Amino acid sequence: MASEPRITSARPGGVASARTGGVASARTGGVASARTRAMPESVFAHMDAAKAAARADGRDVIDLSIGSSDLPPPPEALAALRDATADPTTYGYCLASGSRPLREAAVRWHRERFGDPPGGALDPDAHALQLIGSQEGLAHLLWAVADPGDAILLPDPAYPSYFGAVAVAGLEAIPLPLREAHGFLPDLDAVAPGDADRARALVLNYPNNPTAGVADEAFFDRAVAFCHRHGLLLIHDFPYVDTVDGEACAPSVLARPGALEVAIELYSASKSFHMGGFRIGWALGHPGAIAALARVKSAVDFNAYLGIQRAAVAALARPRSAARRDALVFAARRAALVAALAEVGWALTAPPAGMYLWARIPASAGALAADSLAFCDALVRDTGVALAPGRGFGPHGEGHVRFALVRDAEALRDAARRVGAFLTKPG
């Protein structure tokens, strides 16, 4: 029998964790808390050290390990930020009312792309919130909607920060394997009903990091129905909305029937506008989740600098053709890298979206094929090519690496040649 949905549109009632209404903190030895100690090691920090060692050794490093876009931010965004720095009214704390222009711009942008969600238009006050990036938003959202010991359905592989966020929130991750044979979509029918019923939320991310898998509307309809059936909040991390090939944009779960009653979607200027260092994003969707997250954030931050919010507002107003142009840059790089890797014997299929190429390490790597961290360490040490080890994306990531398409096609071809030489080197 279907369980009673736990997600309601109450503010913040239906989805708020006990923590949202009152905090208890515990130190459990040394200075680090148990939840801090439960955080996994960061593969990005590991690769940072490995890159520094390679540079110190005189290697010319081609860094494809981090998904930090190298394309320029929109000029109108930079102009808005410049103007804001000359405007003293931007210098103080930005309270919630100050972030309304960004929330309005985000709602307008969503309406222009996807139309109004079935059942009602998004309201900038009830359905939108400014974030300091979608990473910050997701971590605090888990605090806002789940209590220590609660379970979360989490894709595996997944963006590494999810695992840290789950640990810090004291949650149990129930892994949902993403398999290539299943289009890198979780098989929701394979989730044990007991697991689905005891979980608080389902986390999805399409276009996906690291696999570059894409979800279609039919999958989102199944995910929405699943969340209704099991009383789950559907958290769709959506920073790669603008990175699909072709004319259509990646689907927004909020545009699906019944989604606004169960789903919240997290957006980022980091990928859409190449503004990763600016730390700005926004959440849209379920009003109870938005209100709970706003409440947690009121204890944590005073919103991003108003000038950065104005930069995001300016970027959100740019025509869709600009996003298309950038997506084509990544598509061309992807094609160039796939072709260059094929030439050195590493055959891969180009995905239709995203900023990444997710690749099983070829058998020619010998023992390193089963140890992505050792493979990446040896590769950057010997060739200067830095990749992200699949292991950092979860147990199902082991045996893979992720290439970030954040250098031009020539650099990617150079990287592929060096990888080819590494794979054929004796020993």
Ligand X SMILES: Cc1ncc(COP(=O)(O)O)c(C=O)c1O
Please tell me the distance from the alpha carbon of residue 357 to that of residue 338, in angstroms, as a whole number: 8
Phi, psi of 321, deg, nearest 5 = -60, -30
Angle at the Cα of 265 from the Cα atoms of 349 and 284, rounded to 5 degrees: 145
Q: How far is the CB of 348 from ligand X (least distance, A)?
A: 20
Q: Give the nearer residue to ligand X in terms of CB position, either 136 or 414.
A: 136
Residue number closest to ligand X, CB atom: 133
Among 20, 90, 209, 303, binds ligand X (CB under 6 A): 209
Secondary structure, 3-state, 215-241: CCHHHHHHHHHHHHHHCCEEEEECCCC
Q: Give the nearer residue to ligand X in terms of CB position, either 39 or 374.
A: 39
Q: Give the nearer residue to ligand X in terms of CB position, either 78 or 344.
A: 78
C-alpha dihedral sign at 110, 114, 115, 121 = negative
Q: How far is the CB of 347 from ligand X (least distance, A)?
A: 26
Please tell me the distance from the alpha carbon of residue 308 to that of residue 310, in angstroms, as a whole number: 5
How far, CA to CA in Å, does 232 sit from each of 13, 14, 124?
14, 11, 24
Q: Give the nearer residue to ligand X in terms of CB position, either 365 or 388.
A: 388
Binding mask 238-277 for ligand X (x = CB under 6 A): -x----------------------------x-x-----x-
Interface with ligand X by CB under 6 A: which range of 69-77, 120-128, 129-137, 411-419?
129-137
Among 63, 150, 156, 237, binds ligand X (CB under 6 A): 237
Q: Give the nearer residue to ligand X in terms of CB position, either 239 or 392.
A: 239
Instruction: State both tokens at 305.
Output: 């600098």
Please tell me the distance from the alpha carbon of residue 146 to that of residue 126, in angstroms, as a whole number: 20
133 binds ligand X (CB under 6 A): yes
Q: How far is the CB of 133 from ligand X (least distance, A)?
A: 3
Q: Are 133 and 155 in contact (CB under 8 A)?
A: no
Interface with ligand X by CB under 6 A: which range of 37-45, 127-135, 290-298, 407-415?
127-135
Give the footprint of ligand X on residues 344-383 (CB under 6 A): none
330 binds ligand X (CB under 6 A): no
For the chain, how long is the longest CA-to-CA vector?
A: 64
159 binds ligand X (CB under 6 A): yes
135 binds ligand X (CB under 6 A): yes
211 binds ligand X (CB under 6 A): no
Please tell me the distance from the alpha carbon of residue 268 to that of residue 263, in angstroms, as a whole number: 17
156 binds ligand X (CB under 6 A): no
Q: Are 199 and 233 in contact (CB under 8 A)?
A: no
C-alpha dihedral sign at 223, 159, 8, 117 = negative
Q: How far is the CB of 213 from ligand X (least distance, A)?
A: 12
Q: Give the nearer residue to ligand X in terms of CB position, either 240 or 346.
A: 240
174 three-class SS: strand
What residues make contact with ligand X under the rule CB under 6 A? 67, 133-135, 159, 205, 209, 237, 239, 268, 270, 276, 281
